[in-house]
Structure 1
Amino acid sequence: MRSRGSSNSRNYRGAGNDRDRKQQRAGRPRPEERRYPQDGASGTGRGGRGGTGRGGTARGAGRPGGPARTREYEAELEERHRARHGRPAATLPKTFGEPEGERLQKVLARAGLGSRRSCEELIDQGRVEVNGRTVREQGRRVDPDRDEIRVDGLTIASQKYVFYALNKPVGVVSAMEDPEGRPCLGDYVQDRETRLFHVGRLDAETEGIILLTNHGEVAHRLTHPRYGVTKTYLAALTGPLPRDLGRRLREGVQMEDGYVRADDFRVVDQVGHNYLVEVVLHEGRKHIVRRMLAEAGFPVDKLVRTHFGPVALGDQKPGRLRRMTHTEVGQLMREVGL
């Protein structure tokens, strides 16, 4: 048995060597040395068919240096690729992916509470609550759209809502656009990151505070008489004024569109016959202060709105736009029940 196996092995190696020598004499390369032409390449195969082998198909079609792939196999590969690349992206563990939410101090800073450093101090002082619990550790991540964040007991406005206070100058129309080309509120908010609209109106001859926001519900409630948000005005009058003028205004003045009552009235200053008076009311009819005082017999020489609810004009110069503070926004929302 052992001699027969060795004899067969020698015969196999010898047969292989003889076959190689015959191929060399015939001018054909050995199988491992063959080079197959690609599609469209010139060359001759068996039978001199211009680069085609058996069945008239190039042996190297579709893949250089290797045997041809059938159309069925190519279609199967394409389906595999589509299935592999069409799968949804794998969800990485939190350890390797981006952490959820934003840092609390970043959200507070964007809400207008100051720099990130000052917001970190608010957290250290225990003045910040998230979902009813006081937060003292730095780096806490929150979702401003889902988490309730409070500072000093007041809920902060989400970053998608913005609130501005403008000291409207005399001669500016209370509209975001004016078809007649007159100066309007939109001239002061052209470069803002979101579209704003004004809360209520001031006539062109009146100076003072007017609010701009993109929060529709807050704007609606601030101007609705049901919520009773007061507006405070300073009016320059020419006297002398009777002692009972304040009482008459608080009791109500009959006008063509009904009674109007002042919530409060007081004399702020007097120089000779020139008076500076303060009028507080919550109604928002057109030219309401000017019409009410004119009906009482004292036309207004100059009118300035100094307060809109809890938001004060202060020393803000005409034409200056400022972003409202967190405290002011919180007080406005509490005023209208939000």
Structure 2
Amino acid sequence: MIRLDKYLADMGVGTRQEVKRYIRKGSVSVDGKTVKAPEQKIDGETQRVAVDGQEIGYAAYEYYMLNKPAGVISATEDQRDRTVIDLIGDRKRKDLFPAGRLDKDTEGLLLITNDGQLAHRLLSPRRHVDKTYYARIRGRVTEEDVGSFAHGVNIGSGEAQEWTAPGVLEIIAGGEESEILLTIQEGKYHQVKRMFEAVGKEVAYLRRERMGTLTLDRDLKPGEYRPLTAEELALLKAL
């Protein structure tokens, strides 16, 4: 059971105070009957709520897979730049956030949700959740680099050392601009870029392909999104 005013505020109808005004002036109905008490408790799963005749469905949690485009920041709001939340046009909840972050110029898989418990399980270092990235690298990636990444590399600067946990580096194509897949279980600041800088190379393009059991949908173009399927969500929650 949930208060009527909280139900409507959660669904983005307005602020809590705005919603209370709508209710008191008779704009809100529950199961077809006008209700003027903001504190009235309702069952969000079985009862039908409408504002000025438009039904407002309730979603306690939302889960979206986004193919993040370059140039968009992984934040809930920003004064200058477009955020990943701005891309979710038909969201019901106003409390969505990105589960983890991708650099502004990085593309790929990002989970958008308001489920804080699930996000914590995915991001906690103690959970050892794999994150796989595709990258194009300026410079020839070698088997020596594969070995270095397998042991962990020092991404610190100057005399300050900062060692990464072991990562799995796979060379897809060699050459002056190599193509690779890298799987890591951490999320240090600019980690993938700093790992390659540590072995004298530079990331030219970076895209996250996978996070735990969730794999980027190839049908999603950069900037596009979709709700998670029931199977995807169940697998994530089982991690």
Runs of 4+ in 1 over 4 A off after TM superposition: none
- Corresponding position of 2:8: none
Matched to 1:209, the amino acid is L
User: Alpha carbons of 1:190 and 1:240: their partners in 2 closer, same or farther (altered >3 Å)?
Assistant: closer
Structure number with the higher strand fraction is 2
Contact 2:139–2:176 (CA<8 Å) still a contact in 1?
Answer: yes
How far is 1:264 from its partner?
1.0
Mapped contact 2:133–2:182 kept (Cα < 8 A)? yes
Q: Amino acid of the residue matched to residue 189 of structure 1?
A: I
CA-to-aligned-CA distance 1:99-140 (integer Å, 9 cap, x gap): xxxxxxxxxxxxxxxxxxxxxxxxxxxxxxxxxxxxxxxxxx
1:187 aligned to which of 56, 81, 86: 86
**AA in 2 matched with 1:289:** V
The Cα shift of 1:144 comes to 11
Task: Show the counterpart of 1:226.
Answer: 126
SS at match of 1:248: helix
* Offset of residue 190 of structure 1: 4.5
SS of residue in 1 equivalent to 2:143:
coil
Contact 2:123 / 2:129 at 8 angstroms: preserved in 1?
A: yes
Deviation at 1:184, TM superposition (A): 0.9
Equivalent pair of 1:232/1:308 in contact (CA under 8 Å)? yes
Letter in 2 for 1:304: R
Match of 1:242 among 142, 145, 152: 142
Two-structure CA RMSD over aligned residues (Å) = 2.0
> 1:253 and 1:241 mapped to 2: Cα distance?
15
State the Cα deviation string for residues 146-197 of structure 1 (Å, max 9, x = none).
Answer: xxxxxxxxxxxx9522211101100101111102x21111211243111211
**2:206 is the counterpart of 1:285:** no
Does residue 294 (structure 1) correspond to residue 197 (structure 2)? The answer is yes
Percent identity (aligned): 35
Distance in 1 between residues matched to 2:84 and 2:223, nearest whole Å? 9
C-alpha separation between the residues in 2 aligned to 1:261 and 1:191?
Answer: 39
C-alpha separation in 2, matches of 1:296 and 1:303: 17
Provide, for residues 59-83 of structure 1, a one-character-per-residue CA deviation record: whole Å limited to 9, x for no partner.
xxxxxxxxxxxxxxxxxxxxxxxxx
Q: TM-score, normalised to structure 1's length? A: 0.50
Per the normalisation by structure 2, the TM-score is 0.70
**Structure 1 gap ranges (5+):** 1-142, 146-157
- The total of aligned residue pairs comes to 179
Partner amino acid for 2:73?
V
1:177 and 2:77 equivalent?
Answer: yes
| CA–CA distance in structure 2, aligned partners of residues 242 and 190 of structure 1 | 43
